[in-house]
Amino acid sequence: MPSVRSLAAALTLLAAAPLAAQAQGVETRPPITPYKPAFAGQTRAPEQKLGVAFETATVATGLKFPWAIALLPDGRMLVTERMAGAVRLVGADGTLSEPLAGAPQVLGRGQGGLLDVVLDPAFARNRLVYLSYAEAQADNTNNTAVARARLTEGPTPRLEDLTVIYRQKPSLNSPLHFGSRLVFDRAGRLFVTQGDRFVPDGQKQAQNLDSLIGKIVRIGADGSVPKDNPFVGKAGARPEIWSIGHRNIQAATLHPQTGELWTVEYGPQGGDELNVARKGKDYGWPTISYGVNYGPAKAPITGGETQRAGMEQPLYYWDPVIAPAGAIFYTGAAFPAWKGSLLIAGQQPQGLPGGHITRLTLKNDRVVGEERLDLPGAYWRDIRQAADGSIYLLAGGPAGRIVRLTPKR
């Protein structure tokens, strides 16, 4: 059964269902799974083309398997190179620094390596940056980890005083599903999105409170545990946990009005999910899912359930998937028609070549329109909004680059 919240939403949308059913969605391919949504508008929202014209300009090239970008106040950028475990400083003119000394040692295998990079909310004063990465252990296991360091300027910029502030426990032997988006909340606490590590031993821990596998955690900027985390003081529960039942979250951002954490989560075949990650909630993986296992057999996940009491329904899901790799709520003035939209960087729509941005129009907690902004020629790994409202996209792969979107003149 869907949660009370989902049932209430379904009742409020029933009247609009006939109209929505007549509207053409952006996705025209048949779904991969046989599943039906729990409420009207949960998938394949009406296509809403706003007709915004934009142009692109390449800002920097020569990056190798970049994963994330952070925009510095002076117009420069920090970029992580996943496989090499390198942090590069990119000038406003696109020049690349040598890899900065002081970066953490990473496991550059599979989906691992050096992943997200974010600035401390007080970066202008303290120069602190935060890095998430895959960390190897001596027993051949590995885990997601988070470290912070100080960006020091000079003829040879570097990272100093690197300190590990978080390690996912337990460590498992898997090269996949590290999750790894870092998002500061308004009070300066740090959300860390994680994955289930893909292997069966990890999947079954995604709803276990004594494990950090398949969880979003919230920690202080120094790695301490906030006293108002939902499971603080609960016997047998890890106090770092914020929410449970997650598969692999690589896109996350704060809502500009509510301050809540919104996530876009990788599903298996079918079933990428949009959620609001709320305190102490269970998002169901792997008990419920709108996706199926990889492979031609399309076998159901666990029992093939999509709804169960006590587990949250996604606000929206995609089938086939969009491969979400980064997200922002657009708040700038450069593209006024997009203001309030959720923009999701995509690597590769399932079964289709090329990259894209998925733009969602939202009304409260519901998707009421979807648009696909085609940006071929790259798998977009990250997306950020600059102070002037322009948008920076990071193209992944062996020939990575940074591209800037501005209004078409």
Active-site residue list: 177
Strand order in the sheet with 380-385: 54-63, 400-407, 391-395, 380-385
Query: Could you tell me which of 163, 165, 164, 192 has the C-alpha nearest to residue 180?
Result: 192
The whole-angstrom separation of Cα 110 and Cα 108 is: 7
Would you say the C-alpha torsion 14, 19, 24, 26 has a positive or negative sign?
A: negative
Would you say the C-alpha torsion 353, 356, 361, 362 has a positive or negative sign?
A: positive
SS3 126: helix
Q: Which structure tokens are listed for 74? A: 């002076």
Q: What angle do CA 84, 376, 335 make, to 5 degrees?
A: 100
Q: Which structure tokens are listed for 130? A: 């935060």
Distance, C-alpha 42 to centroid of its chain: 19
Q: Produce one character per residue of 324-345: b if its CB has 16 or more CB atoms within 10 Å, e if not.
A: bbbbbbbebebbeebeebbbbb
What stretches of 53-152 adopt beta strand conformation (E)? Answer: 54-63, 66-71, 77-81, 86-90, 114-119, 128-136, 142-152
Residues 6+ apart with CB under 8 A from 315: 42, 274, 275, 276, 365, 366, 367
Q: Which structure tokens are listed for 108? A: 């550059």
What phi-psi label fits residue 85: left (phi over 0), alpha (psi between -120 and 50 degrees) or beta?
Answer: left
> DSSP label at 6?
H
